[in-house]
Chain A
């Protein structure tokens, strides 16, 4: 039963992150998500300090706000093009990450579970043990419910905003002339992305989230012919790679999150080499 829940949690995380990651690749802002995954740390700690509990929705909300703040901070710094976008990303996320580390080392006592390790490496192995209970009725792991909400939000967003999303991704100017609002769509997308990163936090940790977002989409970008296929293929790759990673981790007793990322990397490498051989033949 323990292993079963881990597989379910991983699959539920793999689907939305692959979907959002595909759009990130199309919008050429993958490094922004890496920056976000580091700069939500102060949000997590602040949420913890406010609510005094590790499992309250306050943490999710605060961290999501910090993720969105990062995006707007980067854009604010990027004014009149004196500081280029990659430089401003580097400035913002290191600053917020430093604030987060200082908050952890100064304001959390040593016997709480919130330390640098659990933020950076995640704890997939422990996720089935935090149960969600209403009046002593066991409703499954807490991570499951967070991820179900995330899945619902991502699918709902893509269902409602599919056309504006595609349009603003490929041609923001045109989409503005026909009445879509690129800034609004961008805000929704970034909020969702931030929420996705935050809910992936206690599962794979801050550093390896980027592999879940970028690698499946990069794999499917190699052969997808249109955006719908891009999403489908990247979701399938993501599920396949993460299930494979968890399987290997259980078999050889390895760290779960790192093995998942490794599996993703290996699958990308195989596909890429195969594609290289095909390209060279032509």
Chain B
């Protein structure tokens, strides 16, 4: 009966919440390597990914390979999640992918601008969140997400008001 109470799940907590403090020099090199790889991949496939997202019919008409583009996008996403697990954990990694994009979408209608805004807000909130979590000795992931989401919610309220006023 005892084994059902104290089942072996000690490693899981790290995996779920992440522990930015436990990242070591080797991990840092790995993350750097993967980031450079991802940026190059995105640069090469930039046009294909955009065209597929906005006009998939045209994409197929000019004969670009759907399979290669999908493979590229999926593997890039997987790699991003893998390097994010150590810092913020599985559950909150999805926020780090989704929320800045929503924020950018609220502020701009151009794809390039959305990407730029998303990068800036993500970097800012990661810095601020990590700083606060170190001060309060809390897990880092939740603070990052909290800051990111609160900023997004505020923007959302403002944009809701302005759209109502204009319509």
Contacts and interface: CB of A to CB of B under 8 A. Distances in A.
Q: Is the interface of B mostly helix, strand, loop or mixed?
A: helix
- What's the interface size class on A, roughly? 20 to 34
B92 interface: yes
A90 B142 contact: no
A91 B95 contact: yes
Nearest to A256: B4
B139 interface: yes
Contacts of A106: 136, 138
A126 interface: yes
Interface stretch (B48-56, B62-70, B98-106): B98-106
A99 B95 CA distance: 13
Q: Is the interface of A mostly helix, strand, loop or mixed?
A: helix
Contacts of A2: 1
- What's the interface size class on B, roughly? 35 or more
Contacts of B95: 90-91, 94-95, 98
A38 B150 CA distance: 18
Interface string B71-112: 000000000000000000001101101110110011000000
Contacts, number: 92
Interface string A77-97: 101101100011011001101
B98 A87 contact: yes
Given A94-B95, A102-B143, A82 B106 contact: yes
A83 B105 contact: yes
Contacts of B4: 124-126, 249, 253, 255-256
B1 A91 contact: no
Given A87-B98, A87-B101, A91-B98, A77 B138 contact: no
Interface of B: 1, 3-5, 7, 9, 12-13, 16-17, 91-92, 94-95, 97-99, 101-102, 105-106, 136, 138-139, 141-143, 145-146, 149-150, 152-153, 156, 160, 163
23 contacts: A2-B1, A38-B91, A80-B163, A82-B106, A83-B106, A83-B156, A90-B97, A90-B98, A94-B91, A94-B99, A95-B95, A95-B145, A97-B142, A98-B92, A98-B95, A101-B139, A102-B143, A116-B16, A117-B13, A121-B12, A125-B5, A255-B7, A256-B4
